[in-house]
Amino acid sequence: MIKRSYLFALTSVLLYAGIASAQQPQYPIMEKVVQKVIQKYQTSSCQQLAQEKSQPPTGQKAEMEQRAVQALRNDPQMRTAFINQVAAPIANKLFECGMIP
């Protein structure tokens, strides 16, 4: 009986630790970027997105984008996590705007 309760307690602790670690993002900075990207696509009009697409990024925005892209190129796991989170909201908005077939 003591072994069972010990096993149950150990399992409970491990399960709790697993849930707690799963709730903390592995890439906290990337998570903030993901939220900004999703928010941008959700709040921008189709006209704004088309205008932005036609103009290349300049200044500080261009530098930040280059650093972010480089980080995603250097870390395949982070790239996968990023794409998994932003792909659907971006694709849906672009589809709604007629920017992809």
Each of the 101 residues of the chain gets a pLDDT tens digit; together they read 444 444 344 344 444 444 444 556 789 989 999 999 999 999 999 999 999 889 887 888 889 889 999 999 999 999 999 999 999 999 999 999 999 98
In terms of Cα–Cα distance, which of 52, 31, 27 is closest to 41?
52
pTM, entire model: 0.69
Coil/strand/helix, residue 94: helix
pLDDT at 101: 82
Rounded to an integer, what distance in angstroms lies between the CA atom of residue 1 and that of residue 87? 51
pLDDT at 74: 96
pLDDT at 53: 87
Residue 25 identity: P
